[in-house]
Structure 1
Amino acid sequence: MRVEDNNFFPFHANVFMRVVVSVNAEIVHEDVKMGSDGESDQASATSSEEVHSPVRVRLRNNPGRKISTEDINKRLSLPADIRLPDGYLEKFSLNSPLFEKPLSRRLRRVSLSEIGFGKLETYVKLDKLGEGTYATVYKGRSKLTDNLVALKEIRLEHEEGAPCTAIREVSLLKDLKHANIVTLHDIIHTQKSLTLVFEYLDKDLKQYLDDCGNCIHMHNVKLFLFQLLRGLNYCHRRKVLHRDLKPQNLLINDRGELKLADFGLARAKSIPTKTYSNEVVTLWYRPPDILLGSTDYSTQIDMWGVGCIFYEMSTGRPLFPGSTVEEELHFIFKLLGTPTEETWPGITSNEEFISYNYPRYRADCLHNHTPRLDNDGVELLSKLLQVICVLFSQL
């Protein structure tokens, strides 16, 4: 969602800087090199906080100069390791339409198609990674770069067309270019399917937790939290809410680089008072106001999810593993305290809250549940889980 909630950003910056100053951004047992500002070296996939396309410049008309692969790559904003089709360079001269005038969308689209983008035959399916209601994800390989890719194949129903989640994901990811957000390389539309081609990352955070016996080194916890916050900061400043943060949607490569993925539930939010669906965020990572039916929310919905994920990385277990909305709220109130009219104005008139008739729990000390966190870590976790209270009085 796109957000004009500027009052939130000072808190966002405080959380971000608290993590930045304490992180030596090199993953334990893995090789990732990053600068003090969180930007990795040039050779890394996280080479800059915001990924910029190469500058599209008009080449000087030098009759004796031949078109090079680098010229094509710069003009079309292609990756440096692209392999152009045989005979492709010979088609062009410096006075060809591709170089003699500003590049139109149509000409760029035609040029990319000639190279192989937008075509299923450009990619080779390798292994099936997973399947959902609307889509199947495959591990694949690009014939253009020989790099591994993730192919998200979305089945199209003739009556309904593309699912709204796929349309959201495409429209948002086309504009989100950041080292901590998964890159959308290509889009392939056929009569039966819509295939999204993403960069390939080895595993998600849930798999990472499983592989290390649910005990992540605390240095890596800080590194992953920092990258998660950096990616979210980029989204929020562009007024985009992810709305479905969970370990399965955080991808990690073998260099320890973490990237936000699966923007199918994300939204652009431009008007703070506009209402949205409360059927967002997997139950375990859903904040209490959403559980109680609120459809008016802002960036805080993601920050609550960050707090739950931070706890899970630190302890190896989910913070609020409820199987129903009632049980989820019970877990939340048992740890953080049952809200009252003083702490959450208007809560006693909320029909959902009244119907559950929760006991009057007092807030428990987070130190008792997070033995591996120091005082700063517990304070940070507390702030992430309390930020939602800013919205309580608005229900």
Structure 2
Amino acid sequence: GNSHTHNNFFYKRMSLPMDIRLPPEVLKKLQMQREMENENNSPPCKPLSRMSRRASLSDIGFGKLETYVKLGKLGEGTYATVFKGRSKLTENLVALKEIRLEHEEGAPCTAIREVSLLKNLKHANIVTLHDIIHTERSLTLVFEYLDSDLKQYLDNCGNLMCMNNVKIFMFQLLRGLSYCHKRKILHRDLKPQNLLINDKGELKLADFGLARAKSVPTKTYSNEVVTLWYRPPEVLLGTTEYSTPIDMWGVGCILFEMATGRPMFPGSTVKEELHLVFRIIGTPTEDSWPGISSNDEFRSYMFSQYRPQPLINHVPRLDTEGIDMLTALLMYDTRTRVSAEASLRHPYFLSLGENIHSLADTSSVFSLREIHLQKDPGHRSSFEELAMSPLR
């Protein structure tokens, strides 16, 4: 009730969400502080030192495991288990990403890297990190919870998305990526399962687990296979020089998948993956990929010379501008592969209007009246999904 308005200054000072329910003992402490400050006539909002800020956050319940209730397992990541949870402070749903520290040497440093990266990323199209809990056994990252991901979304609409929605998802993906790339942060594991989607249709990049690791693992530690489908050919051929174009190839694969309802290059081994790529994009030549003829790994595979095929034959529903953008994303030469920044300005997005380019980083594209999703023709509501599930 009243304590909320009474402690308004505290929220501002700590930049906390207003819907947080503070534990009563914290409120009492704050009230006493407030009264003392009033007696001494000291300004109520002198900046907190880092120590006292950290102390007051932990009074509230940040950084403590008991602040969150586990509600069930959502899945296994590359080095972590993710649970659905609820915050006792806000009663909001959260995703708890639990990284076991004793497990292997690689996990903690990757995890801590992920944290330091994510803490600084504040963007409408990147999943928000709310809290970090460090115990001797594990490091738990507390993220905002999103109900679905692009893979599930495609499943639910019978793999037939309307092209307007493809464009809006695509723009959001590029917007989040461009924000990261400006900050020299690579995602390095883009795939539909890592693109989270909420009921409003907001798409957010998640799982920067590989964002800085030097080698890209082939298996998760629970022995699931890490997919090759979205991995660029230069990585498949063993490059270790990673830069922003590494993410852009995956964006192209995802555009194709949204527009056709099937993965573009579903290979299960490196050789098969490359073969599928070459069959459509054409076997690379010194012309399309300078330096490729001296790549030993490429030469050892002895691929046949395939000619590039017109992409429109494979993605009939994509308009001319869309095909043009797809082509620019799937360039072999990383110097000519289009950047996230440039692709946001591609003519493909002209139909979304001009205002979408001047949005604040933390504003959703749906804050614009002119942007809205249409009903996907084959989309099943959650109710229908439940009714259908035994038949699938």
TM-score by length of 2: 0.77
User: Aligned ranges for residues 190-201 of structure 1 at < 5 Å?
Assistant: 190-201=135-146
Which position in structure 2 is the counterpart of 1:187?
132
Which position in structure 2 is the counterpart of 1:337?
282
Worse-superposed segment, 302-311 or 92-101: 92-101
Contact 1:205 1:250 in 2 (8 A): yes
Q: 2:119 matched to 1:119?
A: no
Structure number with higher helix proportion? 2
1:285 to 211, 216, 230: 230
1:139 to 76, 81, 84: 84
Which position in structure 2 is the counterpart of 1:32?
none
Structure 2 counterpart of 1:316, which letter?
G
Contact 2:284 2:292 in 1 (8 A): yes
User: Aligned ranges for residues 170-319 of structure 1 at < 5 Å?
Assistant: 170-267=115-212, 276-277=214-215, 282-319=227-264
Shift of 1:130: 1.1
Contact 1:162 1:194 in 2 (8 A): no
Structure 2: segments with no counterpart, 5+ residues: 219-225, 338-392
Q: 2:50 matched to 1:109?
A: no
Shift of 1:99: 4.3
Shift of 1:218: 1.3
Shift of 1:246: 0.5
Pair 325,94 (structure 1): closer, same or farther in 2 beyond 3 Å: farther
Which position in structure 1 is the counterpart of 2:305?
360
Contact 1:244 1:282 in 2 (8 A): no
Contact 2:161 2:259 in 1 (8 A): yes
Which position in structure 2 is the counterpart of 1:386?
331
3-state SS of paired residue (2:288): coil
Larger RCO, structures 1/2 (Cα 8 Å, 6+ apart): 1
Pair 183,384 (structure 1): closer, same or farther in 2 beyond 3 Å: same
Structure 1 counterpart of 2:7, which letter?
T
Worse-superposed segment, 338-347 or 107-116: 338-347
Shift of 1:344: 2.1
Contact 1:301 1:388 in 2 (8 A): no
Alpha-carbon distance between aligned partners in 1 of 2:257 and 2:14, rounded to the nearest angstrom: 42
Alpha-carbon distance between aligned partners in 1 of 2:81 and 2:201, rounded to the nearest angstrom: 26
Q: 2:270 matched to 1:325?
A: yes
Which position in structure 2 is the counterpart of 1:10?
none
Shift of 1:340: 1.5
Pair 351,95 (structure 1): closer, same or farther in 2 beyond 3 Å: farther
Q: How many residues align?
A: 320
Shift of 1:160: 4.0
Contact 1:314 1:373 in 2 (8 A): yes
Shift of 1:161: 8.4
Contact 1:278 1:291 in 2 (8 A): no
CA shift digits 1:271-316 (9 cap, x unpaired): xxxxx53658841111111111111131111111110101011101
Shift of 1:323: 0.6
Pair 68,345 (structure 1): closer, same or farther in 2 beyond 3 Å: same
Alpha-carbon distance between aligned partners in 1 of 2:48 and 2:107, rounded to the nearest angstrom: 29
Contact 1:67 1:93 in 2 (8 A): no
Q: 2:29 matched to 1:91?
A: no
1:150 to 88, 95, 101: 95
Alpha carbon RMSD of aligned pairs, Å? Answer: 2.3
Alpha-carbon distance between aligned partners in 2 of 1:118 and 1:341, rounded to the nearest angstrom: 54
2:108 to 154, 163, 170: 163
User: Aligned ranges for residues 28-43 of structure 1 at < 5 Å?
Assistant: none
Structure 2 counterpart of 1:157, which letter?
E
Structure 2 counterpart of 1:374, which letter?
D
Structure 1: segments with no counterpart, 5+ residues: 1-65, 269-275
Shift of 1:192: 1.6
Pair 156,201 (structure 1): closer, same or farther in 2 beyond 3 Å: same
Alpha-carbon distance between aligned partners in 2 of 1:266 and 1:299, rounded to the nearest angstrom: 11
TM-score by length of 1: 0.76
Q: 2:24 matched to 1:79?
A: no
Report % sequence identity.
71
Structure 1 counterpart of 2:132, which letter?
I
CA shift digits 1:212-245 (9 cap, x unpaired): 1111121111111010000011101111111110
